[in-house]
Structure 1
Amino acid sequence: MRFMTSSDKPENASDTTATPAEHTGVAARDWATASADPQYRAAVVDLLGALAYGELAAFERLAEDAKLAPTLADKAELAKMASAEFHHFERLRDRLAEIGEEPTRAMEPFVAAYDGFHKQTAPSDWLEGLVKAYVGDSIASDFYREVAARLDSDSRGLVLAVLDDTGHGGFAVEKVRAAIDADPRVGGRLALWARRLMGEALSQSQRVVAERDALSTMLVGGVADGFDLAEVGKMFSRITEAHTKRMAALGLAA
């Protein structure tokens, strides 16, 4: 979904998501078996709907940000990323249709939260757009990866696939670090921007979950193998740690 895959990570930005060594409970089942529970099915439909609209919104945003690119080559690179996001959207849309759900209906509950996030975090220039895609979107992706570890095998595989990087993490790191080298004052401004993004991204993820009963129930253990309170704390610690490493990769103070 975003800017990082295991093959594209800076050395100091390793994935911190905790994944069970051996899947148990719902995570050990396939969709056909797990979806017999109507509450679990509703939770997964919500999750896929949220991710689908997130990918569609990311496509729109990256296409818009491409207008800020300083060179034609940079514009083409962002257009390529936008295309990858749209491909992820199509996979989620097709999966919703495959399991008998209307994709638009599944996405609609999440439009306000995503649109609100992007309105609050509209970049003012090219560099802010890169930091948002690399840092801000990755925070939400980390959150959804944590959730994916507790899904049935079919849903988990799809979610993890669409959360994968669009393949251009190194591009953002290279451009931002070069800008800071050219003018160190840029680093302070972008560090403040990235901190704001973290707060907004975490709030947005929490809003998405809190507004949907089936999804929030799944997360706290009412359906599937959810998180207990101690695990919630550990999850956010892992997300914060990953954010700090991404900031370091960009040459920014967390």
Structure 2
Amino acid sequence: MTESSPGLSSGVVDLLGMLAYAELTAFLKLAEDAALLAPTLNDRAALGDVAATEYGHFRVLRDKLSSLGVDPEEAMDPFVDAIDAWHAQTRPKDWHEALVKAYVGTGIAGDFYREAARHSEEPIRRLVDDVLTDEGRSEFAVERVRAAIEADPRLSGRLALWARRMVGEALSQGQRLAAARPELAAMLVGEEGEDLAEIGRLFARLTEEHGRRMAAVGLTTSG
């Protein structure tokens, strides 16, 4: 590992490493879902475009880590098990589950990264915001899922349960990572890391964003 930039915190390295591996894995999983689950060639191409965007984000993060004097593989390595476990536990069985995962599941993860970046310096916040820019994923997934539910309303309950399962798994893995990487955990709640009120506000923001996403895709957060 090359010598990192002076003053670069391990929390920032953790954030960029975690996000880099998340983007790399998202590319691989989306490409796999496109090949195996997409019902039409147009759907395969559309999800393939999303996958390609994720890989572009990975390259930006990899290059940023390298420019900071950090070995990207070493930065990503602490997060491999948790992110791989989340994907293993949320493997979609069909096209509609794949779409909900691409929108709702990836969305809740992105919310975590944005929350951590809120307490970092402006260049890191801007980088994370740029990498997490939606770039069409919402429109692509929302249109198809809403049309499918309109055609078969029975899908709504199953997909809502699926979305809640993904979020539960994401929260569980996030708690494990926070316990293992205290400087990353501190970034989520700033200097008030032991303030229960601040932690409560964090989860309220995450819950609000999740509810907004579920509503947009035509699903309910309860029931």
Taking structure 1 as the reference length, what is the TM-score of the superposition? 0.81
1:61-120 per-residue CA deviation (whole Å, 9 max, x = no partner) reads: 100110210110000001100000000000000000000010001101100000000000
Structure 1 residues 22-61: aligned runs within 5 Å: 36-37=6-7, 41-61=9-29
CA contact (8 A) 1:52 1:92 kept: yes
Asked if residue 192 in structure 1 is aligned to residue 158 in structure 2, the reply is no
Query: 1:79 corresponds to which letter in structure 2?
Result: G
**Which residue of 1 is the match for residue 219 of structure 2?**
252
More helix by share: 2
Distance 1:227 1:246 in 2: 29
Q: 1:220 to 1:121 in 2, by over 3 A?
A: same
Q: 1:201 to 1:104 in 2, by over 3 A?
A: same
**Which residue of 2 is the match for residue 209 of structure 1?**
178
1:216 offset after TM fit, Å? 2.5
Q: 2:127 aligns with which of 158, 173, 179?
A: 158
**Which residue of 1 is the match for residue 50 of structure 2?**
81
Asked if residue 129 in structure 1 is aligned to residue 98 in structure 2, the reply is yes
Query: 2:19 corresponds to which letter in structure 1?
Result: L
1:251 alignment partner, SS class: coil
Structure 1 gaps, min length 5: 1-34
1:160-185 per-residue CA deviation (whole Å, 9 max, x = no partner) reads: 11111132311111111111111111
Distance 2:112 2:136 in 1: 19
2:69 alignment partner, SS class: coil
1:221 offset after TM fit, Å? 4.1
Higher relative contact order (CA 8 A, sep 6+): 1
Q: 2:206 aligns with which of 239, 247, 250?
A: 239
CA contact (8 A) 1:221 1:227 kept: no
Query: 2:199 corresponds to which letter in structure 1?
Result: V
1:165-212 per-residue CA deviation (whole Å, 9 max, x = no partner) reads: 132311111111111111111111101101111111122222222211
Structure 1 residues 52-131: aligned runs within 5 Å: 52-67=20-35, 68-131=37-100
Structure 2 gaps, min length 5: none
1:134 alignment partner, SS class: helix
Taking structure 2 as the reference length, what is the TM-score of the superposition? 0.91
Distance 1:56 1:111 in 2: 11
Indicate the percent of aligned positions where both proteins have the same amino acid.
59
Distance 2:157 2:205 in 1: 24
| Residue range with higher mean Cα deviation, 228-237 or 118-127 | 228-237
1:239 offset after TM fit, Å? 0.9
CA contact (8 A) 1:148 1:159 kept: yes
1:242 offset after TM fit, Å? 1.1
1:36 offset after TM fit, Å? 4.7
2:70 alignment partner, SS class: coil
